[in-house]
A and B are shown apart, each in its own frame.
Chain A
Amino acid sequence: GNSVTQMEGPVTLSEEAFLTINCTYTATGYPSLFWYVQYPGEGLQLLLKATKADDKGSNKGFEATYRKETTSFHLEKGSVQVSDSAVYFCALRGYTGNQFYFGTGTSLTVIP
């Protein structure tokens, strides 16, 4: 079946630190992979996505590369800001169908 395993938080970093949030997946076929961000009190927003192996999704300084050999889609940012404080969800959409599977979310707090 399809599932997503995400690094547990919470994560606390100082401003300008490097961020990595690990995400691995289990899926049949070739899923599409996503990172969503949820700011306090708001719904989820798509941060970036990748639809095939070796694709790199990027947005707002965040990057993630679809690694089929390690079934991973780790989120990285070189220099975090206070405004990046949020909960980050890794998700996959199966090769067939349109249902999404979410990880448990990782809370990030960036302190000045």
Chain B
Amino acid sequence: GAVVSQHPSRVICKSGTSVKIECRSLDFQATTMFWYRQFPKQSLMLMATSNEGSKATYEQGVEKDKFLINHASLTLSTLTVTSAHPEDSSFYICSAYLAGGRNEQFFGPGTRLTVL
């Protein structure tokens, strides 16, 4: 149980286009999901906290107009990278928080974004 999926797993796009990444909790409801960015050989950088039905909370230095987050249901959060540039190329990972007794984050497999 507690599986999180991400789609797509890999995407290549042209500079200036927008890309949407989906994060789904498959077998549990997640009121909170997190979006991370991971650079090669580095740790996860928390980008934003996504709460179902409300606006996302962005970390300092993350452009909210560039990285649009929507958490419209208890099992789905989306991250849209708008007007992508090559420097946005990265590995994006989401996680879903399972509250209650376990109080754990479950991570998606990640999405590799390459902007040409």
Contact = CB atoms under 8 A, between A and B. Distances in A.
Interface stretch (B61-69, B74-82, B97-105): B97-105
Nearest to B110: A43
Query: In which size bucket is the chain B interface?
Result: 20 to 34
B39 to A, nearest CB: 11
A111 B46 CA distance: 32
Q: Which interface residue of B93, B99, B104, B106 has the most chain A CB atoms within 10 A? A: B104
B25 interface: no
Given A44-B93, A46-B104, A93-B103, A102 B44 contact: yes
B109 A43 contact: yes
Interface in A54-112: 89, 93, 98-100, 102-105, 107
Interface of A: 32, 36, 42-46, 49, 51, 89, 93, 98-100, 102-105, 107
12 contacts: A36-B107, A42-B109, A43-B107, A44-B107, A51-B103, A89-B43, A93-B103, A98-B103, A100-B95, A102-B43, A104-B43, A107-B41
Interface of B: 6, 32, 34, 41-44, 46, 49, 93, 95, 97, 99, 103-110
